Amino acid sequence: MVSNVFTDSNSIDRADDSLHTTNLSTWQVVGRLTRDHLLPRKKLLLGCFGAMMFSAIATGSLPFLMQQAADEVFLGKNETMLYMLPALVIVMVAIKATSEYFATVGQAYVGNSIVADLRVEMFERLTQADLGWLQRTHSGRFVSSFMNDVLAIREAASLTIVALGQNILKVLLLTGSMFYMDWRLSVFAVIAIPLALRVLGRQRRRVHVSATKTFQETGDLGILVSQTLTGIRVVKAYDREAHETERARRIIDRTLEFIMRSVRTKASSGPVVEALTGVGFALAILYGGYQGIHGSLTAGQFMGFVTAAMLMYQPMKTVASLQTMLQEGVVAANRVFGIIDLDSKVAEKPGALPLKVTAGEISFDDVSFHYRDGEPVLRDFSLTVPAGKRIALVGPSGSGKSTVLNLLLRFYDPQSGQVRIDGQDITDCTISSVRLASALVTQEPVLFDDTIRANIMYGSEGASEEQVIAAARAAVAHDFIMAFPKGYDTPVGEAGNMLSGGQRQRIAFARAMLRDAPILLLDEPTSSLDTEAEAQIQEALDVLLKGRSVIMIAHRLSTVKKADVIHVMEAGRIVESGNHDELVARNGVYARLHRTQFGAESTKSEPSDPTDREPRARAAANATNA
């Protein structure tokens, strides 16, 4: 995943944000989380809700116990109830505490297991996504979603959804208790709730907007950190440390601003509910006191009602806060689901069969291809690579050379035409079998932060130690590997930065040799090396090419001289074909490229105009006499 495109010096390009963002509503997000992640854990959830039910029942029983204490103990002087009621209170409180413990642990497990599931799904989608999408997506933004967004979903799924259920259940039971004791008092107590819900709806929308901005800025910060680390040598060489730090500070300041907007809105939810319901509570006290004075309401009934009302307000405040917290989870879920829901344009057909490589002949038949909606990169492109032969593709940048390899590996599918291996259309074959038929060596060797042995064995995990060493010897890598104190167990560092460029490339060649695939694809494998390193690699290359069908891309023409056929590409078509000497002699595009690299004097071709030979000879003689 690579993208370093910035729209200006202060902001990060968000042109492709829509690629990994859905637009689900709150209820759609809740429904999807419930269907995909909560219902598969229904046994655990039922246990959590059972614990919540016990907690809610225990909480709802406390007002009745308080009513009995007032009526039976203080007014009725019932000594039996004096000893019974405290014991019942202790039992109810113990049930409440124990139930809440199990509910809390259960919902924490649910939330964290959802995080694990989502990260696995995202990583799987990352590895299976189209190469085009990956190249258009900022790696820093993906990492931000992978690390941060899923945590917000955890809050929404466990702390919010489950806690909402728990507290709503408490509110309903306590409200039922209040209406059971006196429905008229209860009407006064809840009269302000509709207004509170309307205010909370507005706050929910504000939190949604703030959360969206916060996640965007967090993603931008991830992009900036990733880009700065990747280009730290350039940052230092151009004395831009202060500039990059200032850019980070601006993003962090904007993030803080949006976070605080959300915090202020969420913090006001509880007080708003408390203030509005307090008005209803005051009206209930006024009406209850009036009824008590006139003898239609006992002190015990009023005390039980007040206890229920007081116990209800805290869950109501919690519900108010959680429903705003839920919006952060909704925003995060839309970002994560957008990635998980990506449809791959390169897909296996139903009933696709494994590719069977018998000889290794490759053919492109009238292939046309373009990236996204751009200009065609290949136009009616046709090419045949006979089994066991080496062909080279040369030409200016943008002529379509690397696209040929991308199509052969099914990183993309052509818009028209067919790509075949041994007569089999690769779109009719399983993707895995197509890619297993080839070994790829790129211009910039990709090494993983592991040991030399693990990097050589990448893709050939079942290889023996003898096979690994044989591959390293063939790649002229064994000697320098054994010079390290840990030999093949030497860590290569991030991206192989503990090794030199030539050493990294030889490890990549050893990996390809161990793969022992019938088709070898070389994408400018020596262009980044100096002359000495290239000479060392060339020895390994000669061994690697034997007996394989090879497509080699190169800007350095010195690496393609041994090819059986060299094809020169321009604007997505082959314009010249032949071996090195034939193409130089034609004095065409290849000869021009050759002169550019090696100078006109190195070109062995004769002048195209025979009458030009005599003036050249006289000039050479005059130069010798001088």
Amino acid at 552: M
Residues 253 and 123 both lie in one domain: yes
Residue 411 sits in the same domain as residue 266:
no
> How far, rounded to the nearest angstrom, does the alpha carbon of residue 247 sit from its chain's CA centroid?
24
3-state helix, strand, coil in the chain (%, to 5): 65, 10, 25
Which amino acid makes up residue 101? Y
Kindly state whether residues 89 and 151 are assigned to the same domain: yes
User: Strand order of the sheet with strand 424-425?
Assistant: 376-385, 362-370, 416-421, 424-425
For residue 311, being part of any structural domain is answered with: yes
Q: Which residues contact 469 (CB under 8 A, 6 or more apart)?
A: 478, 488
Low-confidence ranges of the chain (pLDDT < 50): 1-11, 13-19, 600-626
Domain boundary among 307, 340, 373: 340
Kindly state whether residues 326 and 390 are assigned to the same domain. no
Quick one: pLDDT at residue 610? 37
288, 318, 340 - which closes a domain: 340
Q: Quick check: is 6 in a domain?
A: no
- What Rg do the C-alpha atoms of the chain give, in angstroms? 36
- Residue 57 within any structural domain of the chain: yes
pLDDT at 603: 42
> Structural domain of residue 595, as residue ranges?
579-626
Answer for the pair 307, 63: CB distance below 8 angstroms, yes or no.
yes
Please check whether residues 265 and 356 belong to one and the same domain.
no
Same domain, 217 and 332: yes
Q: If we measure between CA atoms, which residue out of 185, 186, 193, 250 comes closest to residue 221?
A: 250
> Does residue 248 form part of some domain?
yes
Residues 372 and 296 in one domain: no
Q: Is residue 491 part of a domain?
A: no
Quick one: pLDDT at residue 154?
83
Contact (Cβ atoms closer than 8 angstroms) between residue 247 and residue 217: no
Farthest-apart Cα atoms in the chain, separation:
138
pLDDT of residue 159: 63
Q: At 391, which CATH number?
A: 3.40.50.300
Q: Could you tell me the CATH number of the domain that includes residue 97? A: 1.20.1560.10
Report the SS3 class of residue 384: strand
Q: φ, ψ for residue 556 (rounded to 5)?
A: -75, 110
Same domain, 300 and 228: yes
Class of residue 373 by CB neighbours under 10 A (exposed 0-12, middle 13-18, buried 19+): exposed
Tell whether 535 is covered by a domain: no
Residue whose entry in the numeric block shows the structure tokens 């690699």? 537
Whether residue 148 is found in the same domain as residue 240: yes
3-class secondary structure, 424: strand
For residues 172 and 191, give the distance between their C-alpha atoms in angstroms, rounded to a whole number.
Answer: 15
Domain assignment of residue 458, yes or no: no
**287 and 386 assigned to the same domain:** no
Q: Is residue 490 a part of any domain in this protein?
A: no
Indicate the residue among 325, 340, 355 that finishes a domain.
340
Look at residue 363 in the predicted model and tell me its pLDDT.
Answer: 94
pTM score, whole prediction = 0.70
DSSP 3-state assignment of 553?
strand
Instruction: Measure CA of the first residue to CA of the last residue in the chain; give whole Å.
Output: 61
Res 398: pLDDT: 83
Query: Do 407 and 275 belong to one domain?
Result: no
In this structure, are residues 512 and 440 in contact, taking their beta carbons and an 8 Å threshold?
yes
pLDDT, averaged across the chain: 80
Whether residue 564 is found in the same domain as residue 584: no
For residue 101, count other CB atoms closer than 10 A to its CB. Answer: 12
Q: How many domains does the chain have?
A: 3
